[in-house]
Amino acid sequence: MANNQCDDDDDASGCGLQLTCFSQPSDHDDNVTLHFHILRLHKQIYAWIGCNSAKFGHLYAAAPIPPSNTVGVTSLIGGSSDNTGSAIARRLVLKTGLNIVLACNIPKNTPILEANAEKMLVQKLISLGYTKPKI
């Protein structure tokens, strides 16, 4: 796993980037390798999930909608008939409280794989300290 950060403590705006990349075989199928690419910005997280390939996939943006606890999700690239990844983006907002931009090339109609990928990604976000503390 490569974990690198580019922080600048002198910048009052707090512009700092942390990049984390890792790969893991799927829990349910040894023939599937999931790749994850996480970029932490000051007010946002960009994440990419790759399934056996390095294709970019579909791109989604999700953000919390104050004052309620709802989350808005939209597809930016692709995703009009295949929303794999949009639900992941939505739940990442709930877990982190941050705006999320998610790219994902998980094939459609693979809910187990999608759930597996989300679980791995969330576990990594927790270990990196990017999620909201549980009250």
- The residues binding other proteins (CB under 8 A) are 1-2, 4, 6, 8, 11, 13-17, 19, 21-23, 35, 37, 39, 41-44, 46, 48, 50, 53-56, 59, 61, 74, 76-77, 99, 101, 103
Q: Are 48 and 42 in contact (CB under 8 A)?
A: no
Provide the pairing of β-strand 70-77 with 58-65: antiparallel
State which residue, 65 or 111, has the beta carbon closest to other proteins. 65
CB of 105 to other proteins, least distance (A): 9
Nearer to other proteins, 33 or 110 (CB): 33
Task: Output the smallest distance, CB 2 to other proteins, in A.
Answer: 4
- Is residue 105 within 8 Å of 55, Cβ to Cβ? yes
**Closer residue to other proteins, CB minimum distance, 21 or 135:** 21
CB of residue 74 vs other proteins: minimum separation in angstroms?
A: 8
Q: Which is nearer to other proteins, 43 or 119 (CB)?
A: 43
Report, in Å, the least distance between residue 134 CB and other proteins: 25
* 121 residue type, one letter: L
What is the amino acid identity at position 86?
S
For the chain, what's the residue count?
135
**Residue 56 half-sphere exposure toward CB, CA atoms < 13 A:** 9
Give the closest residue to 63 by CA, choosing from 51, 76, 48, 50: 76
